[in-house]
Amino acid sequence: MQDVLSITYYWLKAGHIIFVIFWMAGLFMLPRFFVYHQEAAKDSIEAAAWVDRERKLLKIILLPSIIAVWALGIALAVTIGAWDQGWLHAKLLLVLILSGYHGYLSAYAKKLARGERPIEGKKLRMLNEVPGVAVALIVILVVIKPF
């Protein structure tokens, strides 16, 4: 039985890391897409192309990735019995924040698709830093396990 759990753990871990990479790539790309979208003239063919690109990124990469990250992450926590460990609670908080950020970006894509442009490009460029800071903290928590 221990061999099965050991093998399962490594497959869950590999899958989790793979989908985290996909999710982070999408979270880095989407705000950049928004910057380019906002630089395009409203109601132009280029703006319509950005709407399509943003929709595809959200539906084809980001949505499946966030689902897989959560499912595999919960399975990993169950497999190793990590629910009572402080580092996992901190990691979950950061992943919840990233999930909220993902939701915010998704809502912003819908606003852009309607022709609304409530945030200027400079602020969108700054938003691009959120996943980088969060993932750095998450990696430190998982590798170092400070508490």
Domain interval for residue 45: 2-144
Residue 95 pLDDT grade (very low, low, confident, very high; cuts 50, 70, 90): very high
Residue 5 has pLDDT above 80, yes or no: no
Of 105, 142, 95, 103, give the one whose Cα is nearest residue 29. 105
Angle 2-39/45-56 helices, nearest 10 degrees? 170
Q: Which amino acid is at 55?
A: R
Residue 2 pLDDT grade (very low, low, confident, very high; cuts 50, 70, 90): low
Domain count, the chain: 1
pLDDT (0 to 100) of residue 1:
55
Q: Taking residues 6-19, report their average pLDDT.
A: 93
Residue 114 has pLDDT above 70, yes or no: yes
Of 106, 37, 32, give the one whose Cα is nearest residue 66. 106
Of 25, 56, 29, 37, give the one whose Cα is nearest residue 135. 25
The answer to whether the annotation marks 102 as part of a ligand binding site is: no
Rounded Cα gap, residues 101 and 31, in angstroms: 11
Q: What is the pTM of this model?
A: 0.93
The answer to whether the annotation marks 91 as part of a ligand binding site is: yes
Of 91, 100, 96, 88, give the one whose Cα is nearest residue 138. 91
Q: Taking residues 73-92, report their average pLDDT.
A: 95
CA distances from 129 to 1, 32, 68, 79, 126 (A): 43, 11, 23, 32, 6
Angle 2-39/130-144 helices, nearest 10 degrees? 160
* Tokens 């989790």, located at residue: 16
Q: Taking residues 21-39, report their average pLDDT.
A: 96
pLDDT (0 to 100) of residue 7:
84
Q: Taking residues 127-141, report their average pLDDT.
A: 96
